[in-house]
Structure 1
Amino acid sequence: MTEVVNKPEREDPLAWQTKKAGQLLVASARHSYDPRVDVDWDQPLAEDRWFLPEKRISLYGTDLYESLSHEQQVLLSREELAASLASGVWTELILLQLVARYAYKRDVTSPQVQFALTEIADEVRHMIMFTRLVEKVGAQWYPIAPKTQRNGLLLKTFAPLPALWAMLLLTEEFFDRFQREQAADETVQPLVRTVARIHVVEEARHITFARTELERFVPTLSPRRLELLRNFLAGIVKTIRRDRYNPLMYERAGIDPAVAVAAGRDNPIGKANGAYGAERIAPYYKSIGLIGGKSEKVWRDAGWLSA
């Protein structure tokens, strides 16, 4: 039996979702950004600023990190930012196609579908913004790992819609944690902070909508379908952990990639960073039944679930 998070009595779930979608459409009209004009791309990079908070660098706290010069540490922060942005673009490409599938057979006049279309427009702007940021900071683009690419082709074509909202919420909640921190950290490049701030504001709407979809849909799943969805999400957790330590970003920072990958994976601070990213989404997923059974071990082994 799915355990649903306790909430105050409210109207029919579909009516609640329709109302929420209407509110999100209004918020989108009032608080959307065009990165072509709302980001000052002509501003020079600030001297000696990090490209992400130092404590979030994958090697931070290791002997290997301490052996690097300060300039090389900053360079590594740039490469890790670029690699994470490439992963973000790949993820949003997958979600964009899944959201389009959601809208395909539905009434386009409904607030839910209109917000889904608005979300697609948001994601397209975000992808362009991320690629432009990679160019601006002087990094090269990062290809997605072949295994992840192959899995993505299957996912975007065959994944059921519940998987769409569950994956969307997992990835956006996870990365939103770090981007909120980036936006507020004055040691980080101002341009990076601006991009993070825009993304946080617009992704907050997507997160809210995904939650309303899941809270309506998860209680209707059969035990078998619920278990399949739990295992699917556990697979996403494994993929995020595996792809976090991209050998190419260490190579581009002038570090032996094999040594760096091993150091990063063994770094307890890295595991703590994963727990930080999952701090909101893991308890929420457990409360609505999306973590349980065999999948719970994956989340705990990753350090993403403590309670």
Structure 2
Amino acid sequence: MTSELLKPDPKADPAARQTKKAAQLLIASARHSYDPLVDIDWDAPLAEGKWFLAEKRCSLYGTELWDSLGTEQKMLLSREELAASVAVGVWTEHVLLHLVSRYVYKRDVSTPQVQFALTEVADEVRHMIMFARLVEKTGAEIYPTPPKTLRSGLLLKTFAPVPALWALILLTEEFFDRFQREQSGDETIQPVVRAVARIHVVEEARHISFARTELERFVPTLSRARLGALRRLLAGIVAGMRKDRYNPLMYQRAGLDPKTAVAAARANPNNIENAKYGGQRIAAYYQQIGLIGGPSEKVWREAGWLS
């Protein structure tokens, strides 16, 4: 019998498929990774008349309040919304790298899965620094993480089970990936923002692929109780993202009354479409593999992530 016949069929064996995928992603990481400190021209001046977020993705776009603003103030708000979203990205990357480190802790470092997980940690560290440099480059200030979010993150990174780790990675990365793919090709946006988006999209594509493989192996093994708990956790994250989307500080820094601006943003139908756009791909996938169902489905629909 040849060695080829002894090889496990990746389609029949989820663990073998995961190993094969990790080995492929390690090669892709070696060929297509970036160092943002040298691969982005941080010394280039900001471009005149370019947005920091696409105009249609700004939270007040389409409202009477938006129409009352001058172009300069609209662009200032786009900068502040970018900076606020980047702060959420930094917090998310920080939590995820802790979770991935926990995944690695008791596993064999010689396996492709663990080696790719370590590569992912390195990627996330670079991304956190890249995001911080981006905020500095735009002229904005770093947005502080709210104490409640810090406490939640501490619990997540310490106690979240392994299936929750990959489900959370996929949820956050898929959502932001939708917008960053759009940003990377939008010539109305600042070149430095597009450069950051391109790097993040390329490297996060590997993280997304690995997380999907992990989930497809883990989810079928979950008991009904554990599956229900994971569904509730993910629905809670989605509800929290919906609630915390409109940071009063970003409106204040853009020279607007925070209460008026938050109320206008929450009532803005355009933001339901934005949420649906961001969540469309991940919501469909989670329905397919069983991570949306029962009472959790209502939460996803109320957040606008499901039709």
8 A Cα contact 1:182 1:188, kept in partner: yes
Partner of 2:171: 170
SS in structure 2 of the partner of residue 116 of structure 1: helix
Would you say 1:205 and 2:206 are equivalent positions? yes
Q: Letter of the 1:61 partner, please give it.
A: G
Gaps of 5+ in 1: 1-7
Gaps of 5+ in 2: 1-8
- The 2-side partners of 1:239 and 1:32 are apart by 32
Q: Letter of the 1:223 partner, please give it.
A: R
- The 2-side partners of 1:35 and 1:215 are apart by 32
- The 2-side partners of 1:222 and 1:32 are apart by 38
- The 1-side partners of 2:26 and 2:239 are apart by 34
8 A Cα contact 1:230 1:290, kept in partner: yes
SS in structure 2 of the partner of residue 10 of structure 1: coil
* C-alpha displacement of 1:10: 1.1
Partner of 1:29: 30
* C-alpha displacement of 1:141: 0.3
Partner of 1:157: 158
Partner of 2:254: 253
Q: TM-score, normalised by structure 2?
A: 0.96
Would you say 1:103 and 2:87 are equivalent positions? no
Percent identity reads 74
Partner of 1:224: 225
After the TM superposition, which residues 1-307 of structure 1 pair with which residues of structure 2 at under 5 Å, given as runs?
A: 10-306=11-307
Partner of 1:3: none
Aligned positions, number: 299
Q: TM-score, normalised by structure 1?
A: 0.96
Deviations 1:7-46 (A, max 9, x none): x981300000000000000000000000011000010000
8 A Cα contact 1:172 1:207, kept in partner: yes
- The 2-side partners of 1:9 and 1:117 are apart by 23
> More deviation in 196-205 or 151-160?
151-160
- The 2-side partners of 1:230 and 1:11 are apart by 26
8 A Cα contact 1:245 1:261, kept in partner: yes
SS in structure 2 of the partner of residue 44 of structure 1: coil
Runs of 4+ in 1 over 3 A off after TM superposition: none
Q: Letter of the 2:21 partner, please give it.
A: K
Deviations 1:220-274 (A, max 9, x none): 0000000000000001101111121000000000000000111111111011100
8 A Cα contact 2:10 2:17, kept in partner: no
8 A Cα contact 2:60 2:264, kept in partner: yes
8 A Cα contact 2:10 2:16, kept in partner: no
8 A Cα contact 1:21 1:111, kept in partner: yes
- The 1-side partners of 2:212 and 2:17 are apart by 12
Q: Letter of the 2:198 partner, please give it.
A: R
- The 2-side partners of 1:148 and 1:269 are apart by 26
8 A Cα contact 1:148 1:239, kept in partner: no
- The 2-side partners of 1:60 and 1:9 are apart by 47
- The 1-side partners of 2:154 and 2:280 are apart by 29
8 A Cα contact 2:87 2:142, kept in partner: yes
* C-alpha displacement of 1:153: 1.1
8 A Cα contact 2:10 2:20, kept in partner: no
- The 1-side partners of 2:185 and 2:128 are apart by 22
* C-alpha displacement of 1:146: 2.1
Q: Letter of the 2:170 partner, please give it.
A: L
* C-alpha displacement of 1:148: 1.5
Partner of 1:4: none
CA RMSD of aligned residues (A): 1.0
- The 2-side partners of 1:258 and 1:70 are apart by 22
SS in structure 1 of the partner of residue 232 of structure 2: helix
Deviations 1:157-195 (A, max 9, x none): 111111100000000000000000000100000010000
- The 1-side partners of 2:149 and 2:124 are apart by 20
| Structure of higher RCO (CA pairs closer than 8 Å, 6+ residues apart) | 1
